[in-house]
């Protein structure tokens, strides 16, 4: 076994900053246009799937707003007919022409969703893709665990259409992103009402404020798959049932969101932070995350093998990633790994600022 080293000392003291900058740079590029360069390592299928998810997500929110607006304008024949027509998109063309859907945070969620689905597809092809662990939890003697497991199963069912292709409803977004998207779509509908139907802007604004505010008020971020996964992971941890073997079993069963939540609970990270570290484009994140979570070597090796065989986003740029990651795992002690990941335990706004400055400094240095 390689001698462990402290990554918090000497030349490795900036490991956390570099890891964060690389992850944020990768997702910034990946999320902005959903037109990813080759180094982002997304396939054409993943890009098209992300774009399709965005279209369906926008249409879902648009339909919810239009249904409310149709009732609001029951006395306006033209608007009532337009909003009641399910076959004609109104907001989507306006938003595409204005190019206002290039939201990096929204794009990051879409990229996560696409990779989760691809991971699920890889698991479905494997011999152990039965997801029996989650079914066992639904039947668990602990009523709280059984209830949280059932909520997770229901949330998972919303992720697939009748052909097992990915879908994404508005309940899958963080509240802040969902609110921004609702107001953006509402603004597009407002433009349509004023410009195409000559509606007085004051009346349009009053209607939009009412229906969009109602939709936002009814939103429950706690129903998302990620939130359900975190609740279940925390409950398992409180019950002393989130050991190394369970982590490996969760991943082998293809339950990637639950694994991310569980490893985050073990390492003291929230869900977005655990995902960001796990998907480090240079491939070091998984090893550091497992070491910080104090996973034993045998289970860590098994987890790294699954991540690299079914989740190419977790393997880094070079081949033989699992072996390299295991070497890093063995060479890094728990304290050093936790020190590297301490940056992911602070406010996300601070992480974003550190990432922007680090990326900018590197760009300046490369140009010099």
For residues 226 and 178, give the distance between their C-alpha atoms in angstroms, rounded to a whole number.
15
Residue 7: predicted pLDDT: 45
* pLDDT at 126 exceeding the cut of 80: no
pLDDT at residue 123, rounded to an integer: 73
d(CA 345, CA 264): 10
Q: 320: burial class by Cβ within 10 Å (0-12, 13-18, 19+)?
A: exposed
pLDDT class of 304 with cuts at 50, 70, 90:
very high
Q: Quote the pLDDT of residue 128.
A: 53
Report the DSSP beta bridge partners of residue 5.
332
* Rounded Cα–Cα distance for residues 28 and 136 (Å): 39
Long-range pairs of 160-166 with CB within 8 A, sequence gap ≥ 24: 166/49, 166/53, 166/113, 166/114, 166/117
- Residue 350 is predicted with a pLDDT of 83
- Angstrom distance (rounded) from CA 45 to CA 94: 26
- Region of poorest pLDDT, from 104-118, 129-143, 180-194, 307-321: 307-321
From residue 349, alpha-carbon distances to 225, 289, 352, 358 in Å are 23, 21, 5, 14
Residue 170's pLDDT is 66
**CA 298 – CA 148 distance, rounded (Å):** 29
Identify the three-state secondary structure at position 160: strand
pLDDT at 2: 47
pLDDT at 81 > cutoff 90: yes
Select the more confidently predicted residue: 329 or 33: 329
Residues 185-189 have a mean pLDDT of: 96
Q: Over 60: is that where the pLDDT of 32 sits?
A: no
Indicate if the pLDDT at residue 210 is higher than 90.
yes
Average pLDDT (118-145) is: 81
Neighbours of 223 (CB within 10 A): 15
Bigger pLDDT: 16 or 226? Answer: 226
**Between 131 and 309, residue with greater pLDDT:** 309
Q: What's the pLDDT score for residue 160?
A: 83
User: Both tokens of residue 66?
Assistant: 């239009």
Q: What is the mean pLDDT of residues 146-168?
A: 87
Q: Cα–Cα distance between 35 and 79 in angstroms, integer?
A: 35
Whether the per-residue pLDDT at 42 is higher than 70: the answer is no
**Mean pLDDT value across residues 331-346:** 93
**Percent of the residues in the chain that have a pLDDT greater than 90, as a whole number:** 53
Predicted confidence (pLDDT) at residue 28 exceeds the cutoff of 70 = no
Mean pLDDT value of segment 262-277: 95
- Average pLDDT over the chain reads 84
Structure confidence at residue 39 (pLDDT): 44
Least confident of 127-131, 176-180, 217-221: 127-131
Name the residue with higher pLDDT: 323 or 318: 323
State the pLDDT at residue 236.
98
CA distances for 2 relative to 5, 54, 330, 331, 348, angstroms: 9, 45, 6, 5, 34
Beta partners for residue 160, in sequence order: 166
Per-residue pLDDT averaged across 195-208, rounded? 95
The confidence score (pLDDT) of residue 312 equals 63
- Give yes or no for residue 38 having a pLDDT over 80: no
**Cα separation of the two ends of the chain:** 41
pLDDT at 114 over 50: yes
Nearest to 178 by CA among 116, 226, 221, 208: 221
The secondary structure element, H or E, covering residue 333 is none
pLDDT value, residue 1: 47
The SS3 assignment for 42 reads: coil
Q: What is the mean pLDDT of residues 260-285?
A: 93
Q: How much is the pLDDT for 179? A: 94
* Residues with Cβ within 8 Å of residue 311, at least 6 apart in sequence: 115, 118, 119, 122, 256
Provide the 8-state DSSP code for 2.
P
For residue 299, give both structure tokens: 């289970």
pLDDT value at 82 more than 90: yes
Q: What is residue 27's predicted lDDT score, i.e. its pLDDT?
A: 57
Query: Is a pLDDT exceeding 60 seen at residue 5?
Result: no
Q: How far from 32 is each of 27, 41, 50, 177, 349, CA to CA, in Å?
A: 8, 15, 12, 14, 18
User: Structure tokens of 52?
Assistant: 């399709």
Q: What radius of gyration, in Å, describes the C-alpha atoms of the chain? A: 22
Q: Answer yes or no: is pLDDT of 9 > 50.
A: no
- Report percent pLDDT > 70 for the chain: 82
Question: Residue 127: its pLDDT value, please?
Answer: 52
pLDDT at site 88: 85
């Amino acid at each position: 076994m390689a001698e462990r080293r402290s990554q918090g000392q000497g030349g490795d003291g900036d490991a956390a900053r570099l890891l964060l900058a690389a992850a944020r740079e990768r997702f910034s590029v990946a999320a902005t246009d959903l037109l990813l360069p080759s180094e982002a390592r997304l396939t054409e299928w993943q890009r098209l799937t992300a774009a399709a998810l965005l279209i369906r997500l926008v249409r879902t929110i648009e339909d919810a707003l239009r249904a409310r607006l149709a009732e609001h304008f029951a006395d306006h024949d033209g608007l009532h007919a337009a909003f009641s027509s399910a076959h004609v998109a109104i907001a989507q063309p306006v938003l595409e022409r204005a190019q206002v859907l290039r939201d990096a945070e929204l794009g990051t969620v879409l990229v996560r969703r696409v990779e989760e689905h691809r991971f699920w597809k890889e698991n479905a092809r494997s011999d152990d893709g039965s997801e029996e662990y989650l079914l066992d939890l639904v039947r668990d003697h602990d009523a709280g665990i059984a209830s949280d497991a059932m909520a997770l199963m229901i949330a998972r069912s919303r992720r697939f259409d009748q052909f097992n292709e990915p879908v994404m409803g508005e309940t899958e977004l963080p509240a802040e992103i969902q609110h921004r998207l609702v107001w953006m779509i509402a603004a597009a509908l407002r433009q349509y009402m004023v410009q195409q139907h000559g509606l007085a802007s004051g009346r349009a604004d009053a209607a939009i404020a009412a229906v969009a505010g109602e939709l936002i008020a009814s939103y429950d971020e706690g129903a998302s798959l990620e939130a359900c996964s975190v609740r279940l992971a925390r409950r398992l941890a409180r019950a002393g049932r989130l050991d190394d073997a369970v982590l490996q079993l969760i991943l082998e069963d293809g339950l990637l969101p639950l694994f991310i939540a569980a490893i985050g609970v073990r390492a003291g990270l929230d869900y977005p932070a655990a995902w960001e570290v796990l998907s480090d484009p240079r491939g070091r994140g998984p090893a550091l995350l497992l070491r910080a979570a104090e996973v034993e070597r045998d289970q860590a090796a098994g987890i790294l093998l699954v991540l690299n065989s079914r989740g190419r986003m977790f393997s880094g740029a070079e081949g033989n990633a699992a072996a390299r990651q295991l070497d890093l795992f063995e060479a890094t002690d728990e304290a050093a790994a936790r020190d590297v990941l301490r940056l992911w335990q602070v406010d996300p706004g601070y992480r974003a600022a550190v990432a922007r400055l680090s990326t900018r400094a590197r760009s300046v240095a490369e140009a010099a």
